[in-house]
Structure 1
Amino acid sequence: MYAEERKESEAMGVEIPVRETIAFPKEISADWYQMVRNTLKEFHISVSRLGMTLGVSRVHITDLLNGKRSIKKEMKDSIEDAVIRLNPNHALSLQIDYLRVRFPSDSERIAMDIAEEILEIPFSYFDKLGHGWNNYETVYQYGLDGGILLCESAKEELGILLEMTGQACRRMENHLELTERTWYELFRKIERCNGVYKRLDIAVNDHHGILDIHHMKLLLEDGSYVSRFRSYEFIRSGAIKREKEGSGDTLYVGSKDSEIYFCIYEKDYEQFVKYQIPVEEAYIKNRFEIRLFEERAASFAKSMRSCQKDEDGLERLCFGVINHYLAFLVKEEGKEKRNWVMDPMWNHFISQVHRDKIRLEMQPREQSVERSLYWVRHQCMPTIRSLHQKGKLLMEEELEKGKTNARLDRILDSEEEIRWQKAAKNYYEENLEEKLREEMEGSKKMGKQRRVEGDRN
């Protein structure tokens, strides 16, 4: 079936990337262990991350991969499946890309409680901003630009607002990974604390350029689609100097005033404009965002939480929503629209036949550090280099006299403290496991010795 549809798609001029597979040895052997370790290293997958995916501790998975614990066939299959799912080279991946939640407030609940009980971030690492935001008088931020926001108001009905943009979500993922948690655990805490979802964006990242936004726009204009939405908007942004032919395209399908709409845009062009990352080097080519608000956001979050133990559940949920609202077709003269076939490009995107299973990806980034380095490299470095060449001693003297960024220092200190705590916890767990094994082995030896002495008597 896959081969036939692939031939048909290629005949119509749609390029279908070959699915990437990993051929693990069939039997558990030294080669199998080595291949798993090499693949983890190649894909930059930490043992902690693999353990979190499998639902076991880092120590347990380390013992399995080091041969200290026996591996049954079921666990072997689970490890291989997890490694394949964590492959960063897959064509598509899922991400949480925006989160807005309102918590009821009273005299006993303040922003500090949300930070420490739900986010598990010490409130001392948040900075109080010198301005309000979105009708909230007091705003606290964790991180620099694009940080996690907690907003308070004297008006009790506004409650406490938690706001995460895309950058803040990546920052939250950095914290979640350091504390060995996932979005699922965070959503569970939000619901336990009566959080009300106001907005939730789910991004389907297209890494191979499957989607063609301009082609979708032409299909919409031609009426070659079916949709529950009544409107769409196409935006083409331009630049006088750019690295690729054409410009960044964005397609909105559905009304921005409704509780759900889609936003599809060229992520590679956006990254080029923002960070001068060459288009061909962009990790994400296109992005398909499902933007949910109010009741739709709450309903999706509830359904998503039940997907934690269902490997394919989140993929079915996301693509079920997309398929429910939109499909692109190939116009066939003389046939009713209901008999038109699906557009090959869209079929490749929406159909599981053509692609690997999709996972909820976490891309933890220390955004504040990256942004600071980027700013120094592009805004300051040319001046620094000139000054350094003309007056090295003067430049060194100025660096000695300069003040550090207090906010950035606190952020770096917080991340360092979390890493230190995690390292201490891992060390304790490893030593505890080792100690327990030694005690068990000692008990076995003692029991054996007693049996030998009993036989002698």
Structure 2
Amino acid sequence: MVNLEERSGSFLPELPYTNRGVIRQKEELSALIDWCQITIKEVPLEAVIEDVLRIPMELMMVTGYEKGIAGHEVVAIFDNIKVLKPTGNAQYQGFQILMSGKGCRNYENFLQLNEETWFDFLNRVCQYHINFPRIDLAIDDRKPYLSIPDLIVRTKEGLLSSKLREIDFHDSGELKEEVFQSKGGSLYLGSSASNLRLVFYEKGYEQNKKYGTELDENWNRYELRFRQEMAVSVVQELLRYRDVAGLAMEVLNSKIRFLEKPTGSMTTRKRLYPTYQAWAELMKDIGKVKLTMQPQKKSLQKVWEWLEKYVAPSLKLFAEVGKIEKRDYIGNLVANGEMNITQKQLYDDYIKARRLEERG
């Protein structure tokens, strides 16, 4: 059990009939919990779902559609909120709650429904015999303060002071008039298996590539990925001070600093290099950030956006041809189509949510 010093409408929106594109945020900086993975022991499955998650049991049904993660299999699922049990060498008496970034956004629907915050949920979880294999904090920067390609260049040039020794980066783009233009850069500090990994990337480009949404060139994301002992410490700090920004700033300032080449000095001692101005401004303003929630039932929305962008024009073509030939091409297409397992899961989730709405 984690000891603490202090206690601190609708699941599925109506499908859109216009292309909403990227949802614009008023805040230039906002913070999210973007991954939450919890091992909880000596608690039966029904209690994990109804008492810990506070999700109605009838929503979290075993479907057999989803694969688990290493050493675990899914026993209950609603969209991207999963409960898993250990298998093989990972045997223990308990379960694992797994919410990816999408799962966190899905779970915020339930938090709002229960008039709770993430702090309420984490505080409740910590009353049980638990561990946190991983928790991620994400800072969304819509100003943006930083240029990811510039950070990558500075890193290559040695203008980075970092306690995280393993560094990786990815920068895709295209040549325009013989000049390389970035279209989705990422910088990774720390290994994927370490207790702390920092990731800086162009979120707008990532969303555009994944889902075909309207490109937001001014959307960066900075992720702090915590594992094991550090994840537990982070949760304790969040509940003690309820200050996501302060925690993020403390971690970033203690681990990394982007630098400027000093002018008029021959020193090679990085600790004497001035701080990169854009980094200093971000560190100054990040203290104003509050933890926000962006509840989304994203899966159907993303399918709809994909249909609108990539499939609707072809459907329109055959609908018009069908009028001339007196044939229902679209109706025949739907009648003969079969859903895959992911689509069946989406449909099942939708039906369960509608039934809950009708009941309540």
TM range (shorter): 0.7 to 0.9
Distance 1:264 1:397, change over 3 A: closer
State the match for 2:19 in structure 1. none
Maintained 8 Å contact 2:211/2:306: no
Out of 330, 344, 349, which is 1:411 matched to? 349
Aligned counterparts of 2:35 and 2:149: Cα–Cα separation in 1: 25
Instruction: Tell which has more relative contact order, 1 or 2 (C-alpha 8 A, sep 6+).
Output: 2
Shift of 1:170: 1.0
Question: Secondary structure, in 3 states, of the residue corresponding to 2:301?
Answer: helix
Shift of 1:151: 1.0
State the match for 2:71 in structure 1. 135
State the match for 1:92 in structure 2. 29
Aligned counterparts of 2:355 and 2:112: Cα–Cα separation in 1: 14
Mapped pair 1:101 → 2:38? yes
Distance 1:162 1:234, change over 3 A: same
State the match for 1:151 in structure 2. 84
Mapping of residues 316-355 of structure 1, within 5 Å: 316-332=246-262, 333-335=265-267, 336-352=269-285
Q: Structure 1 unaligned segments of length 5 or more: list them.
A: 1-86, 425-457
Larger deviation, residues 205-214 vs 366-375: 366-375
Maintained 8 Å contact 1:96/1:203: yes
Aligned counterparts of 1:169 and 1:368: Cα–Cα separation in 2: 13
Aligned counterparts of 2:45 and 2:307: Cα–Cα separation in 1: 33
Question: Secondary structure, in 3 states, of the residue corresponding to 1:150?
Answer: strand
Out of 205, 220, 231, which is 1:286 matched to? 220
Q: Deviations over 1:40-59 (max 9, x none)?
A: xxxxxxxxxxxxxxxxxxxx
The structure carrying a bigger helix percent of its residues is 1
Q: Deviations over 1:85-144 (max 9, x none)?
A: xx9322211111111111114xxx44332122122222322342246422224443211x
Maintained 8 Å contact 2:31/2:140: yes
State the match for 1:217 in structure 2. 152
Distance 1:340 1:396, change over 3 A: closer
Query: Structure 2 counterpart of 1:373, which letter?
Result: W
The structure carrying a bigger strand percent of its residues is 2
Aligned counterparts of 1:368 and 1:224: Cα–Cα separation in 2: 40
Mapped pair 1:373 → 2:304? yes
Distance 1:268 1:397, change over 3 A: closer
RMSD: 3.1
Aligned counterparts of 2:65 and 2:211: Cα–Cα separation in 1: 28
TM-score normalised over the length of structure 2: 0.78
Shift of 1:191: 1.0
Query: Structure 2 counterpart of 1:366, which letter?
Result: K
Shift of 1:194: 2.1
Distance 1:148 1:340, change over 3 A: same
Mapped pair 1:297 → 2:231? yes
Aligned residues: 321
Shift of 1:275: 1.9
TM-score normalised over the length of structure 1: 0.63
State the match for 2:125 in structure 1. 190
Mapping of residues 31-46 of structure 1, within 5 Å: none
Question: Secondary structure, in 3 states, of the residue corresponding to 1:391?
Answer: helix
Maintained 8 Å contact 1:103/1:159: yes
Q: Deviations over 1:301-356 (max 9, x none)?
A: 11112234xxxx2211111111110111222223454333211010111113xx67
Aligned counterparts of 2:121 and 2:321: Cα–Cα separation in 1: 53
Aligned counterparts of 1:131 and 1:342: Cα–Cα separation in 2: 47
Q: Structure 2 unaligned segments of length 5 or more: list them.
A: 1-23
Aligned counterparts of 1:408 and 1:234: Cα–Cα separation in 2: 34
Maintained 8 Å contact 1:178/1:418: no
Query: Structure 2 counterpart of 1:411, which letter?
Result: D
Q: Give percent identity, aligned residues only.
A: 24
Answer with 1 or 2: which has the greater Rg. Answer: 1
State the match for 1:166 in structure 2. 101
